[in-house]
Amino acid sequence: MKSTAMRGADALLEALKVAGIRTIFTLSGNHVMSVFDAAVDSEIELIHVRQEGAAVHMADAWARMSGKVGVVLVTGGPGHANAISALYTAKCGEMPVVLLSGHAPLRELGLGAFQEMSQAEMAAPVTKASWTAQSTATLPKDLARAFRIAQSGRPGPVHLSLPSDVLEAEFSGSRPEVAEFAAEPQALAPAAARAIVRELANAQRPLVIAPPLLATPPGRKLVDGLRQALGVPVVVMESPRGINDPGLGAIAEILAECDLIVLLGKALDFTLRFGKAPAMAAQCRWIVIDTDVELLARAARTQKQRLSLSAIADARSAANALMQAAADGGAGRHEQWAAEVQAAIDYRPWGSDAAAFPPKNGGMHSTAMCLALQPFLDRHADAIFVCDGGEVGQWAQAVLKAPQRVINGFAGAIGSAIPFAIGARKACPGSPVLTVLGDGTFGFHMAEFDTAVRNNLPFVAVVGNDAKWNAEYQIQVRDFGEPRALGCTLGQATRYDLVASALGGHGEFVVKGEDLPGALERAFASGKPACVNVLIQGTPAPIVRRKR
Ligand SMILES: Cc1ncc(C[n+]2csc(CCOP(=O)(O)OP(=O)(O)O)c2C)c(N)n1
Ligand SMILES: [Mg+2]
């Protein structure tokens, strides 16, 4: 039976449409069924997943690839709690995600309501803002505010709890304008931009470090423009391995030599060894641009007189202001230094000959496995490479060159790869999506093969199957010795490929390396969500250094 009055739930979807949203990643539940009902009469599509955390990861990857805000709708209490951990990945990845969680009705709070929980408090540490809607009349305004906060400054997730009585009551409030949803830029003052351009020009070995939000497709374009305009190297950091990110080759050697580092919205934290020697030159000076005044204060405290300038601005606005200032004159040329930096980033000790990495103990070497995937990425200029953590993930990030990359980022949380692949495919329906993940990681969200099948969102997941949680096994061997390695083994040659086919996807099991290229082709040609399950040796992740 269709309700005639406009409810809070209808007003919410109407507001989402004003914000340009046509897709919501969701898992149903009592508290949000009015929103499902409202969706029947809207043009908004619901992608119904199998676990709430997966919905957050999908929205996160969708946001990375679409440039819009990813929207998630889950139920209250345990549904909300399931979504929480995945918000941390979006927060560290600096992605605008709005989590809408159903909530016990306001009129029952404090009376022992079904699934009553302190939801806003739970989400607070992993979001930029987190609150509970208090009235139907202001619901669309709450949503606009959530969108604005998610996109402004350093973007990130925002949580809004939706009490069921607020959703179900009749709406008669005001409707926000499109502009109210948009980001509020924080510009870099022209004088500061000029001063930074001058300092860069005067430095011998300067480097600009950009944050994860600039690892998106438009972000990479901005970074390229900035590199050109400033005539200095600009590097995007997004890996929890920080200066040891194998995807950045021998960058650690460069960082140790810089005399000026400009942090363009990149936090000075563990990824940069807190800015300390010997990872950084003892005399290296810093310029810090950030929207977070606490980060500016922290840099001033830790770097003291080595902090030569700090400014409040968001990374995108600051990049544009720096390009403008450089165009007005004063940018230096650091061609030789830029070439040195690029050579370090491109450096890989292993070359491209897979024969140098023969199989052992019945499994491929991770390098050989990844080298066999590269030709596919080379043939597809629009391919998206998605990668998760673990040792095999580090190999894939080090070896594979892809037009677009989505990784789990500074959060260092494993498990996002499969939902990331689905979210990326939803945002880019024509692009082939290749994901590489470990056998341990595969277990977190393998049920999402079902979501991908139901929604016709094909991708290929290559599972490096070493029958281990190898990253942790390697720590045990290194720190405690092999005889004390405990509890980090997984089933031998487990058939993860059969999981994919059981759920309606396509499965390939690769025991011999020479069978991998054919299996990969068949997996993509199937047009289905596919798992290529490859037996590998379980090699420690690479740390790239050149012999000097
Ligand atoms: C959510 C979460 N849980 C646990 C960890 C710790 N962790 C990091 S890598 C890893 C092992 C991953 O195993 P697998 O996916 O098989 O990759 P492998 O290291 O074996 O190549 C674990 C347990 C983490 N980073 N994130
Ligand atoms: Mg493993």
Q: How is residue 364 annotated by DSSP?
A: B
* pLDDT of 1: 64
Q: What is the pLDDT of residue 332?
A: 85
Residue nearest to atom 9 of ligand 1 (CA): 390
- Centroid of chain to Cα 513: 30
Tell which atom from ligand 1 comes closest to the C-alpha of 395.
21
- Name the band, by pLDDT with cuts 50, 70 and 90, for residue 3: low
Task: Identify the pLDDT of residue 352.
Answer: 86
Q: How confident is the model at residue 543 (pLDDT cuts 50, 70, 90)?
A: confident
Q: Which atom of ligand 1 is nearest to the CA of 388?
A: 15
pLDDT, tens digit, for every residue of 360-406?
988 999 999 999 999 999 999 999 999 998 999 999 999 999 989 99
**pLDDT over 70 percentage in the chain:** 99
pLDDT at 415 over 70: yes
Against a cut of 0.95, is the pTM above it? yes
SS3 292: coil
Query: Which of 51, 418, 435, 470 to mutate for ligand 1's pocket (most ligand atoms within 8 Å of CB)?
Result: 470
pLDDT of residue 545: 87
Q: Is the pLDDT of residue 4 over 80?
A: no
| Ligand 1 midpoint to CA 145 (Å) | 36
Q: Do residues 220 and 352 lie in contact, with contact meaning Cβ atoms separated by under 8 Å?
A: no
Instruction: Please report, rounded to a whole number, the percentage of residues in the chain having pLDDT higher than 90.
Output: 94
Task: Report the pLDDT value the prediction gives residue 454, as an integer from 0 to 100.
Answer: 98
Looking at residue 267, what is its pLDDT?
A: 97
Task: In whole angstroms, give the CA distance from residue 56 to residue 67.
Answer: 16
Local confidence band at 544 (pLDDT 50, 70, 90 cut-offs): confident
One-letter amino acid for residue 519 of the chain? A
The closest residue, in CA terms, to atom 11 on ligand 1 is 469
Predicted pLDDT of residue 548: 58
The HSE-up count of residue 114 (CA atoms within 13 Å, CB side) is 10
Secondary structure (H, E, C), 512-542: CHHHHHHHHHHHHHCCCCEEEEEEECCCCCC
Q: Which ligand 1 atom is at minimum distance from the Cα of 444?
A: 1
Nearest ligand 1 atom to the CA of 437 is 15
- Residues 239-265: tens digit of each pLDDT: 999 999 999 999 999 999 999 999 999
Distance, CA of 130 to CA of 98 (rounded, Å): 10
**Mean pLDDT of the region 168-192:** 97
Residues 92-105, mean pLDDT to the nearest whole number: 98
pLDDT of residue 5: 87
Band of pLDDT at residue 333, cut at 50, 70 and 90: confident
And the tokens for 430? 């024509």
Average pLDDT, the chain: 96
Ligand whose nearest atom lies closest to the CA of 92: 1
* pLDDT confidence of residue 224: 97
- If one residue of 241, 437, 444, 469 were mutated to test the ligand 1 pocket, choosing by the most ligand atoms within 8 A of its CB, it would be 469
Is the pLDDT at 117 greater than 80, yes or no? yes
pLDDT in tens, 274-314: 999 999 999 999 999 999 999 999 999 999 999 999 999 99
Residues β-bridged to residue 160? 100, 131
How much is the average pLDDT of 469-479?
97
Tell me, using a 6 A CB cutoff, whether residue 133 lines ligand 1. no
Report the C-alpha gap between 285 and 125 in whole angstroms: 32
Residue 419 has pLDDT above 80, yes or no: yes
* Angle, helix 417-427 to helix 52-66, in steps of 10 degrees: 40
351 pLDDT higher than 90: no
Beta sheet of 129-132, edge-to-edge order: 45-48, 23-26, 70-74, 97-103, 158-163, 129-132
